[in-house]
Structure 1
Amino acid sequence: MRPFIHRLASRLGISGNVRNSRRGVEVQLHGTGAALEQFYHSLRQEPPPAAAIDSFDWQWQIRDPRQSPPAPGFFIDSSSIGGADQGQSTCPAPLPDLALCDNCRDEFNDPANRRYQYPFISCCDCGPRWSMITALPYDRSRTTMSRFPLCRQCQREYDDPDDRRFHAESIACPECGPQLNYVAAQSPNSAAGLASNSPPPLEQAVAALRAGQIIAVQGIGGFHLMVRAADLSAVQRLRIRKQRPHKPLAVMFGGLAQVAGWCELSDQERSWLTHPAAPIVLLKKLAGCDPRQIIAPANDHLGALLGYTPLHQRLLDGLGEPLVATSANRSGEPIETHPQQAMTRLAGIADGWLFHDRSIVHAQEDSVIRVGGHDQLPPQILRLGRGLAPLRLPLPEGPPVDPIIALGGHLKCAPALATGSQLVVTAPIDDLSSQAAVERFADSVADLRQRFAGGAEARMLVTDLHPEYATTLWAGQQVSKWAGLQPPVLQQVQHHHAHVAAVMVEHGLQGSVCGLAWDGSGLGSDGDLWGGEALVCDLQHSRRRVTLRRFPLPGGEAALREPAQILWGLLQRQLVGGQISDAEMLQLTGLSSEKHQLLLQMVKRGVNCPWSTSTGRLFDGVAALLRLVDSCSFEGQAALALQQQAESAHNSGEQAGVVAFMAEQAEMERSSASPAGGLQVIDWWPLLAGLISAVRQHEQSQPLALGFHHALADIALRMATICGQSRVVLAGGCFQNRLLLKLVSERLQRAGFEPYYPQRLPANDGVLAVGQLAVARVGMYGANTKQPLAQPAFLEQEL
Structure 2
Amino acid sequence: MTAEGPGRIRIRVEGLVQGVGFRPFVSGLAGLHALAGFVGNDPRGVFIEAQGEPSALRAFVAELERRAPPSALVESVTVADAEPVAESGFRIVASRGEGARQVCVPPDAAPCDACAAEIADPGARRHGYAFTNCTDCGPRFTIVTDLPYDRPNTTMAPFAMCDRCSREYRDPGDRRFHAQPVCCPACGPSLRLLDADGRPQPGDPVGVAALWLARGRILAVKGVGGYHLAAVAGDERAVGALRARKRREGKPFAVLAADLAAARELVLLTSAAERVLSGPRRPVVLLPRRGGAPVAEAVAPGNRELGVMLPATPLHHLLAVRLGRPAVLTSGNRSDEPIAHRDDDALDRLSGIADGFLVHDRRIHVRADDSVVRLFRGRELPVRRSRGYVPAPVTLRRPPSRHVLACGGELKNTFCLVKGRHAVLSQHIGDLEGYETLRSYAEGIGQLSRLFGVRPRLVAHDLHPEYLSTKYASGLDDVELVGVQHHHAHIASCLADNGEEGPVIGVALDGLGLGSDGTLWGGELLVADLRGFERAGHLEALPMPGGAAAVRQPWRMGVSYLDAIYGDAPPDLPFVRRHRDRWAAVAALARTGTNAPLTSSAGRLFDAVAAIAGLRDRVLFEGQAAIELEQFAEPGERAAYPAALSGGPELVVSGTDLVRGAVEDLLAGVRTPLVAARFHNGLARVLLRAVLALSERTGLREVALSGGVFQNVVLLERMEAGLREAGLRVLLHSRVPPNDGGLSLGQAAVAAALDHAG
TM (normalized to structure 1)?
0.89
In structure 2, the partner of 1:543 is 534
How is 1:49-128 mapped onto 2 (pairs within 5 angstroms)?
Answer: 49=70, 51-61=71-81, 67-82=83-98, 85-86=99-100, 91-128=102-139
- What is the alpha-carbon distance in structure 1 between the residues aligned to residue 215 and residue 660 of structure 2? 54
Select 1:568's aligned residue among 559, 563, 568. Answer: 559
Mean CA deviation greater in 324-333 or 721-730:
721-730
Give secondary structure in 1 for the equivalent of 2:548. helix
In structure 2, the partner of 1:472 is 470
Q: How far off is 1:160 after superposition?
A: 1.3
Q: How far off is 1:754 after superposition?
A: 1.1
Could you say if the C-alpha distance between residues 267 and 170 of structure 1 is closer, same or farther in structure 2, counting changes exceeding 3 Å? same
Deviations 1:689-727 (A, max 9, x none): 111111100101112211111111112212212322211
Q: Do the aligned residues in 1 keep the contact of 2:233 with 2:296 (CA within 8 Å)?
A: no
- What is the alpha-carbon distance in structure 1 between the residues aligned to residue 273 and residue 528 of structure 2? 36
Q: How far off is 1:598 after superposition?
A: 3.4
In structure 1, the partner of 2:683 is 712
- What is the alpha-carbon distance in structure 1 between the residues aligned to residue 690 and residue 475 of structure 2? 40
In structure 2, the partner of 1:781 is 756
Give secondary structure in 1 for the equivalent of 2:40. strand
Give secondary structure in 2 for the equivalent of 1:766. helix
- What is the alpha-carbon distance in structure 2 between the residues aligned to residue 43 and residue 249 of structure 1? 43
Q: Do the aligned residues in 2 keep the contact of 1:565 with 1:589 (CA within 8 Å)?
A: no
Q: How far off is 1:54 after superposition?
A: 4.1
TM (normalized to structure 2)?
0.93
Select 2:457's aligned residue among 456, 459, 464. Answer: 459
In structure 2, the partner of 1:155 is 166
How is 1:307-318 mapped onto 2 (pairs within 5 angstroms)?
Answer: 307-318=311-322
Matched, 1:130 2:141: yes
- What is the alpha-carbon distance in structure 1 between the residues aligned to residue 525 and residue 74 of structure 2? 33
Matched, 1:581 2:568: yes
In structure 1, the partner of 2:25 is 4
In structure 1, the partner of 2:744 is 769
Could you say if the C-alpha distance between residues 643 and 322 of structure 1 is closer, same or farther in structure 2, counting changes exceeding 3 Å? same
Select 1:344's aligned residue among 345, 348, 357. Answer: 348
In structure 2, the partner of 1:207 is 211
In structure 1, the partner of 2:728 is 753
Q: How far off is 1:434 after superposition?
A: 1.5
Q: Which stretches in structure 1 are left out of the alignment for 5+ residues?
A: 480-486, 784-799
- What is the alpha-carbon distance in structure 2 between the residues aligned to residue 290 and residue 117 of structure 1? 27
Letter in 2 for 1:461: V
- What is the alpha-carbon distance in structure 2 between the residues aligned to residue 572 and residue 43 of structure 1? 66
- What is the alpha-carbon distance in structure 1 between the residues aligned to residue 324 and residue 501 of structure 2? 53
Deviations 1:750-778 (A, max 9, x none): 22211111111111111111111111122
How is 1:147-226 mapped onto 2 (pairs within 5 angstroms)?
Answer: 147-185=158-196, 187-188=197-198, 190=199, 192-193=200-201, 198-226=202-230
Q: Do the aligned residues in 1 keep the contact of 2:41 with 2:94 (CA within 8 Å)?
A: yes
Could you say if the C-alpha distance between residues 320 and 591 of structure 1 is closer, same or farther in structure 2, counting changes exceeding 3 Å? same
In structure 2, the partner of 1:142 is 153
Q: Do the aligned residues in 1 keep the contact of 2:405 with 2:458 (CA within 8 Å)?
A: yes
Letter in 2 for 1:406: A
- What is the alpha-carbon distance in structure 2 between the residues aligned to residue 13 and residue 234 of structure 1? 61
Q: How far off is 1:219 after superposition?
A: 0.4
Q: How far off is 1:283 after superposition?
A: 1.9
- What is the alpha-carbon distance in structure 2 between the residues aligned to residue 74 and residue 715 of structure 1? 65
Q: Do the aligned residues in 2 keep the contact of 1:249 with 1:325 (CA within 8 Å)?
A: yes
Select 1:630's aligned residue among 585, 596, 617. Answer: 617
In structure 1, the partner of 2:246 is 242
Could you say if the C-alpha distance between residues 199 and 167 of structure 1 is closer, same or farther in structure 2, counting changes exceeding 3 Å? same
Select 2:523's aligned residue among 520, 526, 532. Answer: 532
Give secondary structure in 1 for the equivalent of 2:703. strand
Q: How far off is 1:594 after superposition?
A: 4.2
Q: How far off is 1:300 after superposition?
A: 1.4
Q: How far off is 1:557 after superposition?
A: 2.5
Structure 1 runs of 4+ with >6 Å offset? none
Q: How far off is 1:457 after superposition?
A: 2.5
Q: How far off is 1:589 after superposition?
A: 4.1
- What is the alpha-carbon distance in structure 2 between the residues aligned to residue 332 and residue 511 of structure 1? 36
Deviations 1:521-560 (A, max 9, x none): 1111122211100011111111101011001112223322
Q: Do the aligned residues in 1 keep the contact of 2:272 with 2:378 (CA within 8 Å)?
A: no
In structure 1, the partner of 2:480 is 489
C-alpha RMSD of matched pairs (Å): 1.9
Deviations 1:173-226 (A, max 9, x none): 1111111122211x33x3x14xxxx22332332222122010000001111100
- What is the alpha-carbon distance in structure 2 between the residues aligned to residue 414 and residue 430 of structure 1? 7
In structure 1, the partner of 2:265 is 261
Q: Do the aligned residues in 2 keep the contact of 1:391 with 1:426 (CA within 8 Å)?
A: no
In structure 1, the partner of 2:709 is 734
Could you say if the C-alpha distance between residues 780 and 654 of structure 1 is closer, same or farther in structure 2, counting changes exceeding 3 Å? closer
Could you say if the C-alpha distance between residues 618 and 52 of structure 1 is closer, same or farther in structure 2, counting changes exceeding 3 Å? farther
Give secondary structure in 1 for the equivalent of 2:508. strand
Q: Which stretches in structure 2 are left out of the alignment for 5+ residues?
A: 1-21
Letter in 2 for 1:59: V
In structure 2, the partner of 1:786 is none
- What is the alpha-carbon distance in structure 2 between the residues aligned to residue 733 and residue 36 of structure 1? 50
In structure 2, the partner of 1:423 is 423
Could you say if the C-alpha distance between residues 613 and 377 of structure 1 is closer, same or farther in structure 2, counting changes exceeding 3 Å? farther
- What is the alpha-carbon distance in structure 2 between the residues aligned to residue 716 and residue 394 of structure 1? 31
Deviations 1:732-767 (A, max 9, x none): 111111121111111112222111111111111111
Deviations 1:218-237 (A, max 9, x none): 00111110001121110111
Give secondary structure in 1 for the equivalent of 2:534. strand
Q: Do the aligned residues in 1 keep the contact of 2:461 with 2:482 (CA within 8 Å)?
A: yes
Q: How far off is 1:443 after superposition?
A: 0.9
- What is the alpha-carbon distance in structure 2 between the residues aligned to residue 638 and residue 226 of structure 1? 27
Q: How far off is 1:685 after superposition?
A: 1.7
Q: How far off is 1:377 after superposition?
A: 5.2
How is 1:216-615 mapped onto 2 (pairs within 5 angstroms)?
Answer: 216-289=220-293, 293-372=297-376, 376=377, 378-398=379-399, 400-452=400-452, 454=453, 456-479=454-477, 487-574=478-565, 579-581=566-568, 584=571, 587-603=574-590, 606-615=593-602
Q: How far off is 1:252 after superposition?
A: 0.6
In structure 1, the partner of 2:7 is none
Q: Identity of paired residues, percent?
A: 38
Give secondary structure in 2 for the equivalent of 1:438. helix
- What is the alpha-carbon distance in structure 2 between the residues aligned to residue 599 and residue 70 of structure 1? 87
- What is the alpha-carbon distance in structure 1 between the residues aligned to residue 521 and residue 24 of structure 2? 51
Q: How far off is 1:587 after superposition?
A: 4.8
Could you say if the C-alpha distance between residues 68 and 694 of structure 1 is closer, same or farther in structure 2, counting changes exceeding 3 Å? closer
Deviations 1:561-620 (A, max 9, x none): 22211211222323xxxx343554885445534432432453456443222101111111
Q: How far off is 1:284 after superposition?
A: 1.6
Could you say if the C-alpha distance between residues 543 and 224 of structure 1 is closer, same or farther in structure 2, counting changes exceeding 3 Å? same
Give secondary structure in 1 for the equivalent of 2:299. coil
Q: How far off is 1:25 after superposition?
A: 2.3
Letter in 2 for 1:227: A
Matched, 1:654 2:637: yes
- What is the alpha-carbon distance in structure 1 between the residues aligned to residue 306 and residue 757 of structure 2? 46
Letter in 1 for 2:95: S
Letter in 2 for 1:581: D
- What is the alpha-carbon distance in structure 2 between the residues aligned to residue 259 and residue 252 of structure 1? 8
- What is the alpha-carbon distance in structure 1 between the residues aligned to residue 53 and residue 497 of structure 2? 38
How is 1:33-52 mapped onto 2 (pairs within 5 angstroms)?
Answer: 33-49=54-70, 51-52=71-72
Deviations 1:462-505 (A, max 9, x none): 110011111011122233xxxxxxx1111110000001011111
Q: Do the aligned residues in 1 keep the contact of 2:554 with 2:611 (CA within 8 Å)?
A: yes
Q: Do the aligned residues in 1 keep the contact of 2:653 with 2:687 (CA within 8 Å)?
A: no
